[in-house]
Amino acid sequence: MQEYNELVTTDACNTYLEKADKNIQSVASTFSGTAFPTTNLKVGMQCMRTDDSNNIYKLTSVSPVTWELVPSKSYVDNAVSTGVKSITNFKGATSTAAGASGLVPAPAKGTQTDYYLSADGTWKKVQQRSIKEVIDIVHPVGSIWETTTTDDPNTLWSGTTWVKMDAGRVLVAAGSYTESGTTYTYNLGDTGGEAKHQLSTEELANHSHSTSNAGGHQHYIANDNENTGSVLTNSLYMIRKYTNNSYENFELYGSNAGAWIGLTNNSGSHTHSITSTGGNAKHENRMPYVVINRWKRTA
């Protein structure tokens, strides 16, 4: 019944009552029919479609005219039942194929806290590791742990063994490298270097020392022929030595000279001295540093 009329107060009583009766029947039947009403449309009115399993529709707009399904319990139940039947079970992934969506397998009793659904479609227990197992992964035997505290890793991580590494040493990576044409090779476990170093003569930079003249002096030649010890003058003399320590083998050139001459006087001999300096101390050989505690795991 989809007939609905506006009630007019000027209508005759029998006409008014007939319209009211039809309106009541239409509303009571939810404007049932095989099609939606087209006249006297009001937003919110409903229509039960007898050609669609008596599903009820509600008018939500008159411009444009829009009827929307009002799901009933039976409709929802049927939809859910139909939908569930179309859903397959979850399919896990493999190494060669992707998984498929669907209903996941139900977890077993008692697995609510420490199990997870794996991508292969099964429930797996979360692996619990001890502190030592974690340290075995993070700091295996042979690794180094550095800290700015006084903590002892033997106490921190029970079941592991650590020793303090040599004090005052820095770490150098093993291998070879070249600097300024020279190749340096460091083998694993090698040690070397020194905190302070005293330079050797070979390590000093190439340099020289200079001195000034300490004073003039003269050489005298005595006239031994006359045995007077007088000084030969007025001439330039050249003495040529043929053999050592033999007076007769000295030849004298010049004037006013006798046949024999004596040795030169050494009264003008003198020495020069150079004063050394420096404290002979060892020089600082360390880079800027910060002191820490360094431990090596041995077991």
- pLDDT tens for the chain, residues 1 to 299: 677 778 888 888 888 888 888 888 888 888 889 999 988 888 999 999 999 888 899 999 999 999 999 887 877 778 778 777 777 888 999 999 999 888 889 999 999 999 999 999 999 999 889 999 999 999 999 999 999 999 999 999 999 999 999 998 889 999 999 999 999 999 998 998 888 898 888 888 888 877 665 555 444 444 444 444 444 444 434 444 434 444 443 444 444 444 334 444 445 556 667 777 788 888 888 888 899 999 999 99
- Report pLDDT for 214: 55
Specify whether the CB–CB gap between 261 and 250 falls below 8 A.
yes
- Report pLDDT for 243: 44
Report yes or no on whether pTM surpasses 0.75: no
- Give the amino acid at 81: S
Tokens of 245: 């320590």
Question: CB within 8 A of 32, min separation 6: which ones?
Answer: 1, 2, 47, 48, 49, 50, 54
- Report pLDDT for 223: 44
Distance, CA of 188 to CA of 184 (rounded, Å): 13
Distance, CA of 109 to CA of 250 (rounded, Å): 130
